[in-house]
Amino acid sequence: MAEIVIVRDAAEAGALVADEIVRLIRTNPETVLGLATGSTPLPVYEALRPRVAGVDLSHVRGFALDEYVGIDRAHPESYRSVITREVVEPLGLDPARIRTPDGSPEGIEHHGDEYEAAILEAGGIDLQILGIGTDGHIGFNEPGSSFASQTRVKTLTEQTRHDNARFFDSVDDVPMHCVTQGLGTILRARHLVLLAFGAGKADAVAGAVEGPVTASLPGSAIQLHPHATVVVDEAAAAKLTRADYYRYAFSNKPDWQGI
């Protein structure tokens, strides 16, 4: 099963994951990162800023999880803009080495295959950052998504569009479709790091890590991965039945193992 790490707050989670990313880059300067958007991974990106000072990032590559279909790449809420604003510019990454799926309508039927090919050409993703939705989705893999799915066009659920409306003027402005890495794509990454904060994520977290593996809760796919780490605050961990064991196991883990 996944390793569950329960921390005090999002800042502690961000520091923990940022330390692991820096360790990885120092070991392999050509590290390939899987980059998530939204509010959940922000503490990681913020914690990385002081930690990458003096670290050579010129060969680091990155692949975003998803992109809206039909949104202008220059729109402030396109994931290309978000990744540039929150990750590439603050960390000083080479923008030419950071990719997001192509959400342009022209040729949309081929964009998923092209993104899959680009990830494979880069050697695969070393560490994939993930969040989880209140309905258990990861990336934009909504309930019912195949565990073998690859990068493709998906229709967003009404709940996800409402959840994301906070980034737009209204829910009507949230695109209906997206291009997202599939669950099969995500499971090919060598290390998955899923973050969740707040009581609103408690049910999804408990279902993903302690419930049955089911397409009805896409986040449960992490149970199939050989190296998955789930980092949650106390509120998000509130529904976990084995929380005491997770705390005990992590506190007694050898330091050299990292996360």
Tens of pLDDT, residue by residue over 16-43, are 999 999 999 999 999 999 999 989 999 9
b/e per residue 222-236 (b: at least 16 CB within 10 A): beebeebbbbbbebb
pLDDT beyond 90 at 248: yes
Is position 66 annotated as part of the catalytic site?
yes
Crossing angle between the packed helical segments 10-27 and 42-51, to the nearest 10 degrees: 50
- Is domain 3-253 classified as CATH 3.30.420.40? no
Confidence of residue 258 (pLDDT cuts 50, 70, 90): confident
Backbone angles phi, psi at 166, to 5 degrees: -65, -20
What are 46-99's pLDDT values in tens digits? 999 999 999 999 999 999 999 999 999 999 999 999 999 999 999 999 999 999
Backbone angles phi, psi at 79, to 5 degrees: -70, -20
Is position 158 annotated as part of the catalytic site?
no
Q: How far apart are CA 143 and CA 214, in angstroms?
A: 9
Select which of 111, 137, 191, 225 is catalytic. Answer: 137
Q: What is the reported pLDDT for 241?
A: 98
Q: What is the reported pLDDT for 160?
A: 82
Closest CA relative to residue 64, chosen from 44, 78, 43: 78
Select which of 20, 67, 102, 135 is catalytic. Answer: 135
What are 197-216's pLDDT values in tens digits? 999 999 999 999 999 999 99
Q: How far apart are CA 201 and CA 190, in angstroms?
A: 25
Q: How many CB atoms lie within 10 A of CB 86?
A: 17
Total residue length of the chain: 259
Select which of 67, 102, 116, 142 is catalytic. Answer: 142
Confidence of residue 157 (pLDDT cuts 50, 70, 90): confident
Please give the average per-residue pLDDT across 218-240, as a whole number.
Answer: 98
Q: What is the reported pLDDT for 105?
A: 94
pLDDT beyond 90 at 255: no
Q: What is the DSSP string of 34-50?
A: EE--SSTTHHHHHHHHH
Is position 110 annotated as part of the catalytic site?
no
Cα 67 from chain centre: 13
What are 98-152's pLDDT values in tens digits? 999 999 999 999 999 999 999 999 999 999 999 999 999 999 999 999 999 999 9
Q: How many CB atoms lie within 10 A of CB 168?
A: 15
Closest CA relative to residue 65, chosen from 4, 132, 20, 15: 132
